[in-house]
Structures are given as C-alpha cells and as structure tokens.
A and B are shown apart, each in its own frame.
Chain A
Amino acid sequence: MTWWEVLVQQTINGLTRGAVFALIALGYTMVYGIIELINFAHGDVFMLGLFVSLAWFTLLGVTTTLTGWQLVTLLPLCFALTMLTTAALNVAIDRVAYRPLRRSTRLAPLITAIGVSFMLENVALLWKGPAPIAYPDVFPSFDILREWFGVDSAIFVTSKDLLVVGATLPLMLALHYFVTRTRWGKAMRATAQDRETAQAMGIDVERTILLTFFVGGALAGAAGLIQGMYYNIGQWWMGYQAGLRAFTAAVLGGIGNMAGAALGGLMIGFLSAWSDQYISARWTNAIVFSILILVLVFRPHGLMGERTPDKT
C-alpha cells in the first residue's frame, strides 16, 4: 500500500469508529445537558447493548450471515429490541441510582454512577466470562469497491462500513428531528436550560429526564449492536474504554451540545485510527486522554459548546 492508500484506509476506519463513538457520546451529552451528571455507567450500557443484541439474535435463531428478506426484517427487529432493552436499562439505572440524589451534592450521583458502572461490568463478566466473546458474522461482508464498482484497489470499503453509516445517520437525523421538532424535544431543551422554570411552565421534569435516559440508552444499544456486527468481538471491559473515548468526544464537541457530540465522536474516531497507524496503538489511549485533559483545562465549553454560567 502506498502512503495515501494507508491514509485513506485509516480515515475510513476512523469514520466507522467515530460513528459508534458519536452514538455513545450523544447519550453522555444529553444526560449531562439535562441533569449535569457525567453518567459514568453509560459506556457499560453500550457494552451491554452488544451482549444483549447477541442474545436477541440467538433468540431469533440467527447464528449465521443473514440474507435476502431475513436481512431486511430480522436486522431492524433486532435493532429495535436491543434499543428497547438498553433504553429500559438506562431508565432503571436513573430511577435506582440517580433519582434519589437529585437534590444532593453534585459528586454524590457521580459516585453512584461509578458504582453502577462496576456492577454492570461485573454482570457482563459473570454472564459471558472473561474471555472475548465471538459475535456471529450476521451482516454479509464484501468489498463494495470490487463487487459493485469493479475497482481493484488496496483500499477496502466493505458493506459493513456502509452499514455503520447507514445505521448511524438515520438515527442521528431522527434524534435531531425529535429534539428540535417535537413537543417532547422542546420539553427536553427547556429542562436542560432551566429545570425550575421548565417545571413552572408545566413541564413534567422527571418524565423529561426519564425520556432523556430512554433515548440515550437506546442510542447506546444501537451503538453496541453496530460494534458487534462490525468487529465480531465483544469484551466485558470494552464499555469503560469506549465510554471514556465517547465522553472525550462529548467534551471535545462541547458537553450538552448534540451536534458537538456527533462532531466530537467523528474527530475522536479519526484521531484514534490515525494514532493507531502512525504512532502506536499502545499509545492511543494516552493520546485520547491527553486531549480530554487539554480540552477540559483550556476550552471547557468545547469546540461548539456555549460558555454557560455554572448552575450550582
């Protein structure tokens, strides 16, 4: 491969990675926007999304590559079931671990969030064991450039890359529509700006928070399913790593800002892919966290976030 082929290939890798980070980052940023909590357990909801989607595939009897009408019916069904499961899980987490602490200090729910994160990881560990689990190759995999366009190139653009973009983009557009065009979305934006005023205007704040956790959980579930189909592998500890990278993405884009989270996710995706290639995969985590620290220190409102006064 020539140097530019490597660069293009890594950029495509970065795009697919970044799409998954963006989906997770949206959940962080929405929850932070509405209750100012770093939902530490969110990355683990993503990880469980992968595990749960595998369970749904198994229940639906899918163990090999889907084809034809099965692909267009079973795959969306599994998306829906997985997203519902993780959404319900996320709502349950909020009810049990965060809601009783709404009026407490800011650090109290953050500490319970860490506790929940540990519990979820351990549940996954005990469920599937410490070894990486194999995720069946349910989505047909082929090289688009060669199969569809007849281009013989060292660069691979696979059908799975297309799947990632094809699944992520509609989800983000739907979310955008939901938040900007619907009553519920309006309630969410109002609650994020000023909870008390929103309450005074007759918005059921608790239900809006529930909705936020529901949507965030659903997106994390979708991300888990996409991750599983793309990489065909899952580990109990992957939620912690992916969660931290996605949180970095949310901070980079400006926490509380949804477009920023999507953009930040893509940027972290590109950065980690390039870092894997040009520096060393061993250093990628350190590089991502250095970016996180630098952004928080020098531009805490992120690339797209507004400078807002501290609500405490």
Chain B
Amino acid sequence: MSPGARRALQGAALGAGLLVYPFLDRSLGLQTVHAVSDGMIYVLLALGLNIVVGYAGLLDLGYAAFFAIGAYTMGLLNSPVLGSPLYGYRWSFWVCIWLAAGVSAVLGVVIGAPTLRVRGDYLAIITLGFGEIIPVAIRNLGDITIDIGGWRPIVRLNLTGGENGVNPIGRPHLPGVPFETDPVPWYFLILVIGLASLWAMNRLRDSRLGRAWMAIREDETAADCTGVNPISTKLLAFALGASFSGFAGSVYAAKLQAITPGAFEFQVSIMLLCMVVLGGTGSLTGVILGGMLITLFDRVVLTETTSMVRSVGRATGIAALTAADLTLWRWFFFGLGLVLVMLLRPEGLAGRRARPLAAVADDTDDPAALEPAPRVETIPGWLRERAERGGVVPEAAPLLEVRGLTKRFGGVVALNEVDLVVPRGAVIGLIGPNGAGKTTFFNVVTGLIRPDGGRITFEGARLAGLRPNAIVARGIARTFQSIRLFPQMTVLDNVLVGEHCRLAATVAGAVLRPPAVIAEEARARARARELLAFVGLGGKADDAARNLPYGDQRRLEIARALATEPRLLLLDEPTAGMNPRETETLTELIGILRRELSLSVLLIEHDMAVVMGISDRITALDYGTRIAEGTPAEIKRHPRVIEAYLGAGYEQELAARTPAR
C-alpha cells in the first residue's frame, strides 16, 4: 500500500471514529460527550496559542485574557437577563462568535503593537500582567461607584456581572437542532470549528506567513535582514492567536450558558501552555495530542486514580489512603509536567527531535560532488531576466553612495566621516584590521544601526530611517560574519524566507489559496530550487539548515540573500573558515554573479588573495576612518594600508634594508 493510500485510509478511519463516537457514547450510556466537547474547546485554544508560542516563538502567559474577552463578548451581547445598557440585546450566536473573534483580535493588536518590541522574556511578563488585569477588570466593572469627595456621578453600575458573571447566555438556534437539550449537536459544532481551524492553520503554516513566523522565532535579526518585518509579523501572530482564543471563548460561553471571571485566571493560560509544550511547540498533531492528554488527565485520570486509591485504602484499612484526594494535586502535576518536559524532552511528545550531525550521510562521496563549482548554465533564468531589466537609475549614476557616514558608540568613534561609492556592476572590497569598523559599516547600511551623521543613497534615494526589512525590499541583501541561518528550518524554507518580500499572499490568500496565490507559491518554490542548484545545494533542499556542513551553510546564506532579488550584495567575510577549495568555489561564484548578472558586490574580506583578485576597487578602514581608496594595485602599495596592517616603522625598516638607488 502506498503511503498516500495509507494516510487516506487512516484519515477515513479517524473521521468515521469521530462521527460514530457520540452515538456510540449514547448507546453505551457513557455520557462523556459533554466532557469531550469541553476538551475540544481547550484543544482549539491550545492550537491558537501554538501560533503565538510555537510558530512565532512569543511566550504568551496571558492567553486566557483573550479567552475571557471572547466569552464576555458573547455573554454581554447574547444574555437576556441583566438590565444595564450593555445587556439584553440577545444577538444571534452566529453573529456573536465572529464579533468575539474580531474584538479579541483588535485587543490583541492594541496590546501587541506597543509591547511586541520588547524582548522575549519581558513580553512574557507583559502578557502575564495583561492576563491579570482582565479578570480584575471584569470583577470590578460589575459594581462601579465613583465617589469624588461626595460627588457620585456613577453609582453601582454593573457592566460585566462582576463576581457572579453572566448567566444565562442564549444558545445557538438552528431549525430542528436541539442545542438546548442535547450535547451531541455541540459536539459536532465544535468538531466542525476545530477541523476548519486545523485546516486553516495547516495552510497558514505552509505559506509565506508561516515561514516568516518561524524565521522570526529562529533569528529575529537575520529575518529582519532577509526582508521580514518583525513587528508586523509578530503582531499578526499575536492577533490571530487572540482571535482564535476569542472565537473559542464565545463558543465556550454559549455552551456553558454561564461564565464567571474565575474561569479565566492565570492557571488557564498555564494549562494551555502545558498542552502546547507537552505536545511539542509548533507541531499541530503534537498540540492536539498534548491537549487531549492533559484534558484526559485532568478530567479522568485524577478522579479515577483517586477513587482507586480510596478503594485500596478501604480494603487495606489505611486511613490516609481512604481520605486521599489526588485532584488537589492537579496544579502540582501541571507544574511538574512543565519542568519534566523542558528537562527531558524539550521538543515535546510529537516534536521533531534534533537530528545529530552524524546523520548527514553523504559527506563521503567523491570530492567533485562535494564542491560542485557554480556554472554559468545553472544561473536561474529569472535572476538573469531581472538583471537585464535593470534599475530605474541611468547606468552612469552609482548604485550606492555613502557620504560622511559617522557612528559613535559612547566615546568610541566606530565610523568617522566614511565615504564609499559602489558603481553599478562593480565588486568593491572593504578591508581593514579587526575593529576597523567594517561590520559596523554594513550594519549602518542595512539599517540595523542608526548612523549619527552622513548620507546613504541607494539608486538615487535616501535610505535614512528605513528598517532593515525595508532596505532589503529596496534591493540590498547581506550575509553575516558569523553565519545566521534559520537553523531548524529546511534549506528550501531558508531560501523561501528570502523571497518573502517579493511575495504578496495575505492571511486570506494563504488560507483560501486562490489561483494567484497557488501560482505565486509554485513560482517561488521553483525559483528557490533553481537558486539552490546554482549555488550547489540542489540535493539538500529538504535537510535542516543546521545539519549542513560549514561551507554549505555559507553558500546557503548567499542563496538566501540572492532570493531577495538584490541589486547590491553585502558579503561579510564570506570565505572565513573555508578551506582553499571552498574559497576558490566561492570566488568563482562572486565572479559569475558580477559578470553574468551585473550584480554589485560590497565585500568585507581578510583573505588578501581573494579581495585583491576580484575587487575592482578597494576601500581600507582603520579606527573607523577611511585611510585609502583605489585599485587593488594601488592599495597594495599604499603606505597607510601597510602601516595599518603591519605597524609603523615597517617602512623605515624596509627602506633601511633596501640599498638606496
């Protein structure tokens, strides 16, 4: 049986099981449908949290707040009892669930927009604070009295039902479906919602947006420099997670018919986090598994074990066992679970265990296959086309023009009035001793650091104040001195992240996949594969990036940079740590890029043979100041360059040794 057929069969069996279950339950008189439906709501919540924690890597400790907001949106709009202006509308359930999701998403944006800039562990505490504030606010808004020195504009206003909550909440109406009396319609309603969510999440994960989330999770700076906007990407994850939570909350409220603020405390957030962590952050099956296990544990195992222990106690006459109540240990077990999973299996039950490096087998093939030289024929056609279309600026104008660039760190002047020009189609070398300011120069040009003075013009437009990802979109791509790939993502996905800023799919597009999005995605994948073949990584597209050998990682980083369709490529010590053979291949690659694609390259390099060999002109920096500029031959002879590299006195020594002519 083919794997596809087996999967289809498994799916059919699972589907049949899900369909038959409630009727089986009824005929056997088990009465578990209620509990199972509640469990499914929690799984739905955990799936939403997984977008935030698993995909985007943002630890959200206040996720239950959005659950509360969704539930109260439903409660306030759909409850027939309370008398305040906000109550008594009795809007239809079918309208309220969407409103609840919308309100939660909006609040997610309101909370996320100012806070997502802060560091990961601070963000966790901010969300925790938000998660604390919401239940407090719900409790207190049930009885508002404002008393300013005897003037009481508001007396005992009840907006939220306070500690007593909202009760009852109207149930959904569908002709002929008994939502009021029977748990089975609820089961199917939640099942449909759950399956639809799963379907949508699957599609999101495999889209441009899913890749952007994971790139941010893996390395935010690298993602920013590859054209992914970290703020909007994180905000999207946060808002989507919130809307899921709101949606689930509204269904939960209607199903329970009554909500109290106590149902949305910190513990709920932690239980959901347990589900995600136990199952495996980022894995959909894992989260479902984790959710089911924890619900099962919470609802069945604890109570069953308690009654078992008690019966053992009665049989043996040990009083301590007879009185035992394991349900009191509930939160102890959740805490212990979090600790044990993080210590013993941090990737979760269903997460992919990190493959050891030894598992990469094809290292022993013949050396020619190991270092395939880049060939002109393998240049992707689309890159060539793009190169021929050219830019918007006349050929004569320089591509990049930097004037008077200055950057100070405290008292240290890292860059002092540096000028540098990259003409179209040129390879420019940037050399200097360690600490000369070369990487700082790159960081300023790519927008990672704001300059204190000077002007950077790219294709005639100023780059001042642009974020790194916007600069990538303008056409400047870079690599890093210490390789910064997205290690847990596949080689192909790394390159696809590079294409992120050239793709257009939105959330709706990624989920619904209209023909335009399908075509775009297919084209992106084809391009990525062509690029990988070009740099010599054709056979490794599906490996995890971190399993690649060092030289391959360097080339993958270049392929990722090329995927952003740059007109200027900044390479920060591309041959560092490479053997002579790898260095040669890389030099060839740069040569081809320039010759065939008229791509401009700005190159930091310590290997003088490389930099002298391929650069048209070279700029030398020392202590942040430009000390020389010229052709390789001029730079080689330039006294200040020699002094910077070899120290003062060398010339005199040289002069003393050479007899005067």
Contacts and interface: CB of A to CB of B under 8 A. Distances in A.
Interface string A100-130: 1100101111111011111101110110000
Most A CB within 10 A of own CB, among B133, B266, B337, B342:
B342
A282 to B, nearest CB: 5
Contacts of B330: 122
Contacts of B136: 282-283, 285-286
Contact of B126 (A36, A104, A280, A293): A293
B424 to A, nearest CB: 36
B119 A310 contact: yes
A38 B121 contact: yes
B188 interface: no
A86 to B, nearest CB: 18
A108 B346 contact: yes
Interface in B119-152: 119-122, 124-126, 128-130, 132-133, 136-137, 139-140
Given A112-B339, A280-B140, A118 B334 contact: yes
B346 A104 contact: yes
Nearest to B277: A111
A247 B133 CA distance: 16
Given A296-B125, A296-B126, A297-B114, 15 more contacts: A101-B342, A104-B342, A107-B124, A114-B270, A114-B273, A115-B337, A118-B331, A118-B332, A118-B338, A119-B336, A122-B329, A290-B133, A292-B129, A293-B130, A297-B126
Q: Which 3 A-B pairs have the closest CB atoms?
A: A118-B335, A115-B338, A122-B332
A244 to B, nearest CB: 7
B285 interface: no
B115 interface: yes
B508 interface: no
A36 B335 CA distance: 21
Contacts, number: 120
A311 to B, nearest CB: 10
A287 B241 CA distance: 26
Interface string A286-312: 100110110011001000000000100
Interface residues of B, number: 41
Contacts of B130: 289, 293
A244 B128 contact: yes
A36 B119 CA distance: 12
A119 B335 contact: yes
Interface string B340-364: 0011001000000000000000000
Contacts of A292: 125-126, 129
Contacts of B342: 101, 104, 108-109, 111-112, 115
27 contacts: A36-B121, A97-B343, A104-B342, A104-B346, A107-B59, A108-B342, A108-B346, A109-B342, A111-B277, A112-B338, A112-B339, A114-B270, A114-B273, A115-B338, A122-B331, A122-B335, A126-B329, A282-B136, A285-B136, A286-B133, A289-B130, A296-B115, A296-B118, A297-B115, A297-B118, A300-B118, A310-B119
B118 A101 contact: no
Contacts of A251: 125
Nearest to B139: A282
Contacts of A125: 328
A116 B121 contact: no
Most A CB within 10 A of own CB, among B132, B329, B330:
B132
Interface of B: 57, 59, 61, 114-115, 117-122, 124-126, 128-130, 132-133, 136-137, 139-140, 266, 270, 273, 277, 328-332, 334-339, 342-343, 346
A286 B132 contact: yes
A27 to B, nearest CB: 16
Nearest to A36: B121
Nearest to B127: A293
B104 to A, nearest CB: 18
B336 A247 contact: no
A98 B464 CA distance: 43
A122 B328 CA distance: 8
Contacts of B115: 293, 296-297
A310 B219 CA distance: 14
Contacts of B334: 115, 118
A296 B122 contact: yes
A123 B332 contact: yes
A127 B330 CA distance: 15
Contact of A115 (B118, B266, B335): B335
Contact of B343 (A112, A290, A293): A112
A121 B332 CA distance: 8
Nearest to B334: A118
